[in-house]
Structure 1
Amino acid sequence: MKQAVFLLALLTAMHAHAATAPAAAAPVSAPGMMQVMVGLLLVLGVLIALAWSLKKMGAGKHAPSGALKIVGGINVGNRERILVVEVADQWIVVGVTASSINALSTMPRQDSLDLAPMTPLAKNFSVWLKQTIDRRNAQKSPSDPGSGNAH
């Protein structure tokens, strides 16, 4: 008997809820769908334009002033470069490839960089680099056998 009363109360509650529930949503019309699509394309267009403008302005590429400076460089292959990077009072010669970056040599910061031999397409960069490394190695004491290019 209690079960019958419970089922009757449950059925009554379900019927009352069904009477007050909103009707099923009407299908979306073609003009409504077009309005949604135009809005979506407009938002995507604004995002693409914003990303493009940030890329053109160079946002996010700036290092703190004076922390790091590229003094010079040369391409030695399709995806390989040699760069001279200034950090504090030291120059670091760096080899850059598609998969790695290696420090080739370090030297004290020089007051002036002789750009005259390097001007047309930096043809004499290798000569300048060899002379600079030779000068640095000549300054090291000859009594230190381990003072080669072990960096």
Structure 2
Amino acid sequence: MEDLFRTMRNIEADRAAALEEFADLLIAHASAEEDKVYPALRRYKNVDGEDVDHSVHEHHEANAALLALLEVEDTTSEEWEEKLEELVTAVNHHADEEERTLLNDARENVGDDRRAELGRAFREARAQYLKADCGSVENVRKLVAAADD
């Protein structure tokens, strides 16, 4: 993620290609979490359901920031720089907060075998999303529109 952020900040790099790769990875990651991990974590009494809900909300915020950047046509523009920093901020905030709350709860309250099982399910779902071109601008638009409903 950080490598792709650095590439997208580099005026001499192929920013559009880096964004395409990042979009696929971000959407696949969030979608797999929401499909396979979050529903399981909701069933644990010592895992805060509000933290799960908040993480889903932050995925929606990151998706909206991603869409805003995907819709910028000129990768050398000031608009690109602004939208990129909004995306970086949203993603970094979510990763930091999720690590400190939800994932710590899971480490403390979900057994090793079950966490390993969830990890396998996550990786399989993520791979399927990546095969489906989940980061395309059309798909991200659908995700953002669905979250707004």
TM-score (norm 2): 0.26
Q: Which has the higher contact order (CA 8 A, sep 6+)?
A: 2
Q: Which of 1 and 2 has greater Rg?
A: 1
Q: Whose strand fraction is larger, Structure 1's or Structure 2's?
A: 1
TM-score (norm 1): 0.26
